[in-house]
Amino acid sequence: MNESPIIQDLRRIFRGEMRPNEPMSLHTSFRIGGPALALLLPRDVDDLIAATHYAHKSAIPYYVIGAGSKLLVMDEGVDGLVIKMGHNFGSMTFQGQNVTAEAGVRLSALAREAIRRGLGGLEALAGIPGTVGGAVAMNAGAFSQCIGDVLEGVVALNWSGETRLLSRQDLRLGYRTSALQGTYIPPQSVGDGRTDESPPHGPVLICLKAMLRLNPGNPKELAELEEAFLEKRKRRQPLDVPSAGSVFKNPPGLSAGRLIEQAGCKGLTYGGAAVSPTHANFIINKGGATAQDVLHLIREIKRRVFEKSGVDLELEIRVLGESVGLEGSDRRCS
């Protein structure tokens, strides 16, 4: 089969692993998603720069992912490049209470190594199946603990291919959000040759590594805390089936899961997808679920919760690819 000119171009400039037409179902915890134009696993920062520069120059959309644990990829796939920050961005270093972890480090591995060294602040995050880069971008958290509590700053790549050191203030951390999402451009993050009137074809900033300052503690006590949090997860969450974790953000002062349950959505099914009977803010893939199945459930949940409580739930997961709007529901779930 003849390769497209885009793939041919990338083979000349990209040194890492490239997988044309890679099914994204292999790279998301939902186990759902059609093919990307190509999945790229950069070998190093220079490789990442080469890929993003080519995408900008060629007006090709691109998306950066970590473990894919908060993603719903459309069944038709992604008309663009997907860059995965994998094991080549997987180092972590410890100097006293200060930790530097690259974007591809698994959050669970970082938390456990910190606990082993008697450093606390990440115990509740040990069960989150994501990477440091993704965790920082969404300020991931659990059980009233979030990575932003111990985050000092990040080194990020901007759309000009320049690295920038961003402080905690630059990151504008909030509930499940940061400046690494959306279009906010921290001071000094825009390099020469581009301005904030020149939108990129991908993220404004890509996290390369995060700097954390952890708290001294007793390794045994920290390990016991971690185990207690993991046991809570096992009891309260459907960890034995594919999902993307919490689908909706908690509204201020409220529980999205409780609102969904009160609206009568717990246990709803559509196609191969279902609202988990264990935790109503989880949509699970029972087997063979499509992105459209999940979207139907999302629409129905939003509709019922709004009718019941007047709350318009906001998605916590990201949706990649062409999708219809999430307003309304054209069919009923069972």
In this prediction, residues 24-45 reach a mean pLDDT of 98
As its CATH architecture, domain 238-320 has: Alpha-Beta Complex (3.90)
For the chain, residues classed under CATH 3.30.465.10 are: 90-223
Neighbours of 117 (CB within 10 A): 16
For residue 223, the model assigns a pLDDT of 98
**Which class does domain 90-223 fall in?**
alpha beta
Phi, psi of 305 (to 5 degrees): -65, -40
Rounded to whole angstroms, how far apart are CA atoms 295 and 303? 12
In this prediction, residues 52-62 reach a mean pLDDT of 94
CB 290 within 8 A of CB 75: yes
3-state helix, strand, coil in the chain (%, to 5): 30, 25, 45
Give the CA distances from residue 271 to residues 34, 71, 184, 268, 280, in Å, rounded to whole numbers and listed in that order. Answer: 17, 19, 38, 10, 17
pLDDT band at 191 (very low <50, low <70, confident <90, very high): very low
Catalytic residue among 25, 160, 246, 276: 246
pLDDT band at 321 (very low <50, low <70, confident <90, very high): confident
Tally the residues of the chain: 334
Rounded (10°) angle between helices 219-236 and 107-116: 150
Statement: residue 323 has pLDDT above 80: no
Q: For tokens 């720069």, what's the residue?
A: 49
For the chain, residues classed under CATH 3.30.43.10 are: 5-84
Can 246 be counted among the known catalytic residues? yes
DSSP 8-state secondary structure symbol assigned to residue 118: T
The residue that leads in pLDDT, 161 or 195, is: 161
Token reading at 184: 């906010």
The domain made up of 5-84 is a member of CATH 3.40.50.300? no
For residue 329, the model assigns a pLDDT of 35
Q: For tokens 């940061």, what's the residue?
A: 178
For the chain, residues classed under CATH 3.90.78.10 are: 238-320
pLDDT band at 325 (very low <50, low <70, confident <90, very high): low
Lowest model confidence (mean pLDDT) among 143-147, 170-174, 318-322: 318-322
Rounded to whole angstroms, how far apart are CA atoms 275 and 270? 9
Helix spans in 163-284 (H): 168-171, 219-236, 256-262
In this prediction, residues 170-178 reach a mean pLDDT of 94
Give the CA distances from residue 97 to residues 114, 150, 151, 218, in Å, rounded to whole numbers and listed in that order. Answer: 9, 10, 12, 13
For residue 200, the model assigns a pLDDT of 59
Can 243 be counted among the known catalytic residues? no
Please report the sign of the dihedral spanned by the C-alpha atoms of residue 134, residue 137, residue 143, residue 148: positive
Beta strands in the chain (DSSP E): 17-20, 36-41, 62-65, 71-73, 78-84, 92-95, 98-102, 119-120, 141-142, 145-146, 151-158, 163-167, 205-213, 215-216, 243-246, 269-270, 273-275, 282-285, 318-320
pTM, 2 dp = 0.90
Helix spans in 121-199 (H): 132-138, 168-171
For residue 105, the model assigns a pLDDT of 98
In this prediction, residues 213-235 reach a mean pLDDT of 97
pLDDT band at 147 (very low <50, low <70, confident <90, very high): very high
Token reading at 160: 């000009």
Catalytic residue among 22, 102, 300, 316: 316
Rounded to whole angstroms, how far apart are CA atoms 68 and 30? 8
Nearest to 139 by CA among 126, 151, 127, 129: 151
In this prediction, residues 15-38 reach a mean pLDDT of 98
pLDDT band at 326 (very low <50, low <70, confident <90, very high): low
SS3 147: helix
Let me know if 316 is exposed, middle or buried by CB neighbors in 10 A (0-12, 13-18, 19+). Answer: buried
Beta pairing partners, 141 = 146
Catalytic residue among 31, 164, 176, 304: 176
